Amino acid sequence: MSTTTFEAIDKSSFPDVMSPGRLLRAYFTEARFESLRMFRVLGFSIPFLVLPVALYLLFGVVLFGDAVRNDPATGKFLFAAFSVFGVMGPGMFGFGATIATEREQGLLALKRALPAPTGSYLLAKLLMTMVFAVIVMATMIPAALFLGHLPLTFAECAKVTAISVLGSLPFCAIGLFIGTRASGKAAIAFVNLIYVPMMHVSGLFYPLPKFLRTISPIWPTYHLQQLVFSALAMPSYGRVVTHVAVLIGVTLILTLLSIRRLARVG
């Protein structure tokens, strides 16, 4: 039995201004449901949450456990590599493919027609990516401490987590840039076209030959990995400020270009 009547709709005196509390709640609600739905997409959540720690355990514990015990620097290298790998995917695929698909499906137009708070759609995806990055680090650190037997201090763990979570931003920006320009199907191909070389040609998993090392700084992964090395008190190339500037630059430029595109084309 319905108890609600249509008189409930006609409250002509209701305000058109949102209280700060309601506005904050709108942002939170969008971020919560974006995260919830991406967790429910098992084809997205399982690879991006399980794969980094599973690969770290395979290489850092099962295959090269003895070498890591004799040389903690190798263990830290693998930990750094799979931490960076873990925060790349959710940003690139969570933004790139989903935005391209949702643009095609009319969801973006609906959000623009509805009184959704400014930027809530993109912010929700950003927070979803950060939630995924936090979970990746929350699995990587115990695995490194208790199964990889790495001598990590609390401060090192905290620094690597903060760097990795914030370090997901440039990958979100790359995904956003692709997602605002490509069709749903093409976006996945384009993301892979950047994701795969970025993993292998930036020196993420293994030292590169000299001729490749000269071009590795073009990839954000290189700069993020150098920052993680610094946080773990490992030898690293370049200056911290340069790496931070490159990552912020990539994030800002690609995000601004994407927002301009969204505002003009939708």
Partner 1 sequence: MNNEFWAELSGVKKRFGKTVALDGLDLQVRRGELFSVLGPNGAGKSTAISLLLGLLQPDAGTARLFGRSPSLVEPRRHVGVMMQEVTLAPELRVHEHIALVASFYPSPLSPTEAMELANITALASRPYGKLSAGQKRQVQFAMAICGRPKLLFLDEPSVGLDVRARENMWGALRRVVANGASIVLTTHYLEEAESLSNRVAVLNKGRLIASGTVNEIRALVVRKHITCSTVLAADQIAAWPDVESVTREQQRLQISTSNSEAVVRRLLAADSNLQELEVRRAGLAEAFTELTQEAA
3-state SS string over the chain? CCCCCHHHCCCCCCCCCCCHHHHHHHHHHHHHHHHHHHHHCHHHHHHHHHHHHHHHHHHHHHHCHHHHHHCHHHHHHHHHHHHHHHHHHHHHHHHHHHHHHHHHCCHHHHHHHCCCCCCHHHHHHHHHHHHHHHHHHHHHHHHHHHHCCCCCCHHHHHHHHHHHHHHCHHHHHHHHHHHCCCCHHHHHHHHHHHHHHHHHCCCCCCCCCHHHHCCHHHCHHHHHHHHHHHHCCCCCCCCHHHHHHHHHHHHHHHHHHHHHHHHHHC
Smallest distance, partner 1 to C-beta of residue 113, A: 4
Among 47, 65, 72, 117, binds partner 1 (CB under 8 A): 117
Q: Which of 26, 158, 186, 257 binds partner 1 (CB under 8 A)?
A: 26
The reply on whether position 115 binds partner 1 by CB under 8 A is yes
Choose which of 50, 58, 63, 112 interacts with partner 1 (CB under 8 A).
Answer: 112
Which of 37, 185, 239, 260 binds partner 1 (CB under 8 A)? It is 37
C-beta of 90 vs 203, nearer to partner 1: 90
46 touches partner 1 by CB under 8 A? no
Q: How many residues bind partner 1 (CB under 8 A)?
A: 40
Looking at the Cβ atoms of 3 and 70, the one nearer to partner 1 is 3
Per-residue binding string, partner 1, 225-244, x by CB under 8 A, is: --------------------
Q: Are 27 and 123 in contact (CB under 8 A)?
A: yes
Residues belonging to the chain: 266
Residue 165's alpha-carbon distances to 31, 142, 213, in angstroms, are 16, 17, 25
Residue 105 in the binding site for partner 1 (CB under 8 A): yes
Applying CB under 8 A, does 3 fall inside the site for partner 1? yes
| Distance, CA of 139 to CA of 162 (rounded, Å) | 14
43 binds partner 1, rule: CB under 8 A: no
Among 54, 107, 145, 208, which residue interacts with partner 1 (rule: CB under 8 A)?
A: 107
d(CA 48, CA 135) in angstroms, rounded, equals: 10
Query: Among 103-111, 149-157, 167-175, 245-253, which window interacts with partner 1 (CB under 8 A)?
Result: 103-111
List the one residue from 16, 70, 207, 209 that touches partner 1 (CB under 8 A): 16
User: Is residue 155 at the binding interface for partner 1, with CB under 8 A as the rule?
Assistant: no
> Nearer Cβ to partner 1, position 43 or 207?
43
Minimum CB separation of residue 125 from partner 1 in Å reads 12
By CB under 8 A, tell whether 21 contacts partner 1: no
Instruction: Using CB under 8 A, list all residues that contact partner 1.
Output: 2-12, 14-19, 22, 25-26, 29-30, 33, 36-37, 40-41, 105-107, 109-110, 112-118, 266
